[in-house]
A and B are shown apart, each in its own frame.
Chain A
Amino acid sequence: MSTASLNRAFALLLWRDLLLAFRRRTELLNPLLFFVLVTTLFPLGIGADPALLRAVAPGIIWVAALLAAMLSLDSVFRSDFEDGSLEQFLISAQPLSVLVLAKVIAHWLITGLPLLIVAPLLGLLLHMSGASIAALLLTLLLGTPVLSLIGAIGVALTVGLRRGGVILSLLVLPLYIPVLIFAADAVATSGAGLPITAHLSLLAALLVLSVSLSPLATAAALKISLS
């Protein structure tokens, strides 16, 4: 099929998912509320000592972001699977991996990107310095798409299962570890006033790798789950 129709299908699917999300606006808040709630639990558990909180803040916020992203993954294919439109994607005239990429980008725009809006607030809650909050935003910007891309593989593998959610975390969380390590450490390092270009380049590398490879894996997984 010509690239024109490919771009049109890509844009169409992106428009459709954003429109669907817009029509159920209230659900957009769920990942954000979860993100804030989980982060506020930690000081209650660890105690309010600012120095201690500042030390553990990067790890806490990034683990909370990771969990928020993972919990919102189920919506990527679940509703399409139940009403049969996922089958229509499988037999569309466009390669499935491109359609999958459109859906994952839409999912990131709906659930991943908004985390950046709330992140500075949480940074203040945990006494983080200005530099580390800036680093937090940068790492979230680079990291959350990777979470959506890799998570989509897990969702595609478990879309046909009745209780796939439990297994999804076991499949996906180990694959999130590199993002967590580089991102959390970037925030901690910038807090100490050191440059974090190495971390950001590694995160960018993970992003490029997952943008190019994971849609293929997700498409293959969908074809198997629906066979």
Chain B
Amino acid sequence: MAAVATDTGLNARHLACMRNDRNLFEQLSFRLGCGQALILEGRNGSGKTSLLRILCGMRQPDDGRLHWDGEDIFRLGPEYHAQIAYVGHRDGVKQDLSAGENLRLARGLGAPNPAFSIEAALDRVELWEHEDVLARNLSAGQQRRLALARLLVTRAKLWILDEPFTSLDSHGIDIVESLFANHLAGGGMLAVTSHHPVSLNDADIIRINLST
């Protein structure tokens, strides 16, 4: 495991988040470095999604600071966003575009990853020869895998995933878990919420439970 230098990667200090006057969480601090995975647990409504949206920089924390390589993520703006990839509850897949077009768009919006061509990314999630199939004609599980294939086409260091396994069958889950393992082995970082267990055999895992 690469020695975690003091301020590389994600560094959260005393994060707090309120929803219409209830404190979802408070004084939440953690650090996420290369090869580490953050697994968020907690019952529904405990603020897991809100925390992920804060990590993405889409939502301002009500208190506390969030730093990426020592710099506040809101000051970094697009520079920080080039380092992350996010798959939320909604897939973010356009129904009227084909699988290939969806991936080409995702690649253009982020920092393109030379290692994976569109074709290779589709093959990696076992959507062989689906490049010109309209997303509307894919099953929910296939659409989910297409959304996760988006992670491969950009050089995102930090993957932020909200319930990645929804509508995936057991084989789909195996594929995705191997994606995670490769990503972490390659020095990537992961922040994920999930109801069923995420088996990342030897990865360095940080567990945070928001409903305690």
Contact = CB atoms under 8 A, between A and B. Distances in A.
B110 A93 contact: yes
B57 A91 contact: yes
Contacts of B57: 91
Interface stretch (B34-42, B85-93, B121-129): B85-93
Given A20-B96, A94-B78, A95-B78, A88 B106 contact: yes
B91 A93 contact: no
Interface stretch (B97-105, B172-180, B187-195, B198-206): B97-105
A94 B79 CA distance: 8
A85 B110 CA distance: 13
B86 A95 contact: no
Given A19-B97, A24-B96, A227-B58, A91 B86 contact: yes
A67 B37 CA distance: 51
Q: How many A residues are at the interface, by size bracket?
A: 20 to 34
Nearest to B111: A93
A23 interface: yes
Contact of B109 (A20, A93, A223): A93
B148 interface: no
Contacts of A84: 88-93
Contact of A83 (B53, B92, B112, B154): B92
Contacts of A20: 94, 96-97
B90 A93 contact: no
A92 B78 contact: yes
Contacts of A208: none
Interface of A is mostly: helix
Given A16-B101, A83-B92, A84-B91, A94 B58 contact: no
Given A1-B82, A92-B78, A87 B109 contact: no
B81 interface: yes
B106 to A, nearest CB: 7
Given A12-B108, A90-B58, A93-B111, A83 B84 contact: no
B90 A16 contact: no
Contacts of A42: none
A90 B82 CA distance: 11
Contacts of A89: 109
A8 B107 CA distance: 10
Nearest to A22: B96
A226 B91 contact: no
A172 interface: no
A122 interface: no
Interface in A88-129: 88-95, 99
Contact of A91 (B56, B91, B96): B56
A102 to B, nearest CB: 11
Interface in A1-22: 1, 5, 8-9, 12-13, 16, 19-20
Contact of A87 (B79, B92, B96, B111): B92
A99 B108 CA distance: 11
A13 B58 CA distance: 20
B182 interface: no
Given A16-B101, A19-B101, A84-B92, A91 B108 contact: no
Interface string A50-90: 00000000000000000000000000000100111101111
Nearest to B108: A12
Given A12-B109, A84-B90, A91 B84 contact: yes
B95 interface: yes
B59 interface: yes
Contacts of B58: 87, 90-91, 223, 226-227
Interface of B: 53, 56-60, 77-79, 81-82, 84-86, 88-97, 101, 104-106, 108-112, 154
5 contacts: A88-B86, A90-B81, A91-B84, A92-B109, A227-B58
Interface of A: 1, 5, 8-9, 12-13, 16, 19-20, 23-24, 79, 82-85, 87-95, 99, 223, 226-227
Given A92-B110, A95-B77, 7 more contacts: A8-B108, A16-B94, A82-B90, A83-B94, A84-B90, A87-B92, A93-B81
